[in-house]
Amino acid sequence: MASILHLMPDLEPDEMSYVQTLVQNMSDKEAHQFASIYRSRRREPTLLLVTTLVGFFGVAGIQRFIVGQIGLGLLYFFTGGLCFVGTIVDLINHKRLAYEYNVKQAEQVMAMMFGQYGGRGGYGM
Amino acid sequence: MKLFLTPNKAWGLVRAWVPLEAVLWLLGLSLLALMDPHEAHLFSFCPFSWMLDTGCPGCGLGHGIAYLARGDWPAMWASHPLAVPAVVLLLWRCGKLLYFHRKYDHQLYTKKNYGKYPPSDAGPGAR
C-alpha cells in the first residue's frame, strides 16, 4: 500500500486521487519508480496558465501544443485563439487540460512499467 | 414553495454529465450557426477590431461558420478559409472530451468509493 501523497505532495487534488488508484497496490519500490517517471512527464497547470496568457499578447495556442493537441494548436495560432474566445476558455479551463494530459501520461507510465493499461491487477486481469 | 431545479442546480447537473469545455464549444458553434450572416455589424467584442482597421487573424470566422451552416460555400471561403477545419476540429475535440469524461471520471468515481471500503478478504492483487 503505497501512498502518492508522500511521494508527490505537489499533485492537484483530482490528479492525486486518480494516481492514488493506480499506485494503491504497488510496493514502495514500484511506487518510487512510478513517481520518478511520472514526475518528468506530467505538465504543471501553471505552465498552461502562463502560456495561455501569452495568447493575449501575441502567439495563441502554445498551451494546446504543450498538451499534444496539435490540430487545435494550429487553429488557435492562425485565428488569434479563435478571436480570443478559445484563449478565454482555456484560461478558465487550464487545470482541466492539465489533468486530462496527466491522466494519459500516468496510463502510459503504467503501461511501460507493467506492460498493460491499468497495471498489475488492472482491468485486463 | 420550493423550486426543484434552480439554475445553479441545473448547471451542476450539466457539468456532472458533460465537461464544461465541450458545453462551451457546442454552445458557441450552435449560436454561430443560428446567427444571420447578412445582418448589419453592430458591435464586436474583439479588442483588435477596436484598434486596427484590418482586424485580427480570426476575423470572419463566425460569419464563415454561419455561411457554412447555410451551405453557402463561396461566401464561407471569402469570409474565412479556416471555417471548415475550425468546425471539424472543435467537434472532434468535443468527441474526445466526452470520451475522456465517460472513461475516466466515471471510473474515478467508482474506484474512489471502492477504495474507501476495501473488502476484508481482498488478496494482494485485488482492488
- Give the tens place of pLDDT for each residue, A50-104: 999 999 888 899 999 999 999 999 999 988 888 888 899 899 889 889 999 999 9
User: Is residue A125 in a domain?
Assistant: no
Residues in B touching A121 (Cβ below 8 Å): 125-127
Q: For residue A1, what is its C-alpha cell?
A: 500500500
Q: What is the pLDDT of residue B12?
A: 64
Burial (CB < 10 A; 0-12, 13-18, 19+), residue B95, is exposed
Residue type, A8: M
Chain A CB contacts of B55 below 8 Å: none
Please say whether the beta carbons of B64 and B80 come within 8 A. yes
Task: Tell me which residues of chain B, numbers 76 to 105, contact chain A at a CB-CB cutoff of 8 Å.
Answer: 80, 82, 85-86, 89-90, 92-93, 100, 104
In terms of Cα–Cα distance, which of B64, B109, B122, B53 is closest to A75?
Answer: B64
pLDDT range class, residue A17, cuts 50, 70, 90 = confident
A39 belongs to a structural domain: yes
| Residue that wins the pLDDT comparison between B18 and A112 | A112
Q: Is residue A12 part of a domain?
A: yes
Task: Please judge whether A24 and B126 are an interchain contact, meaning their C-beta atoms are less than 8 angstroms apart.
Answer: no
Find the CB nearest B125 among A75, A85, A121.
Answer: A121
pLDDT in tens, B38-93: 776 666 667 777 777 776 777 888 888 888 888 888 888 888 888 888 889 999 98
Q: Is the pLDDT of residue B105 over 70?
A: no
- pTM of this structure: 0.73
Average pLDDT score, chain A? 86
Residue A124 lies in a domain: no
CB contact under 8 A, A80 and B93: no
pLDDT over 90 percentage in chain A: 34
Burial of A47 (0-12, 13-18, 19+ CB in 10 A): middle
The pLDDT value given to residue A10: 87
Count up the domains in chain A and report the number.
1
Q: Would A28 be classed as within a structural domain? A: yes
ipTM > 0.85 (yes/no): no
Asked if A76 contacts A64 with a C-beta cutoff of 8 angstroms, the reply is yes
Give the list of residues 6+ apart from residue B9 with CB closer than 8 angstroms, or none: none
- Residue A24 located in a structural domain: yes
B48 contacts in chain A (CB < 8 Å):
80
Could you report how far apart the first and last alpha carbons of chain B are, in Å? 46
The parent domain of residue A115 ranges over 4-119
Cβ distance B100 to A79 less than 8 Å, yes or no, reads: no
In-domain check, residue A10: yes
Which residues 6+ apart lie within 8 Å of A28 measured at CB? A2
Residues belonging to chain A with any Cβ–Cβ distance to chain B shorter than 8 Å: 14, 17-18, 20-21, 24-25, 69, 71-72, 75, 78-85, 89, 92-93, 96, 100, 103, 120-121, 125
Locus of grid cell 518510487: A32
Per-residue pLDDT, A20 = 87
Percent of chain B at pLDDT above 90? 1
Nearest by CB to B58, from A21, A82, A92: name it: A82
pLDDT score of B116: 45
B6 Cα to chain A: minimum distance (Å): 23
A10 phi, psi to nearest 5 deg: -90, 0
A50 in a structural domain:
yes
pLDDT band with cut points at 50, 70 and 90 for residue B103: confident
Å from A63 to nearest chain B CA? 15
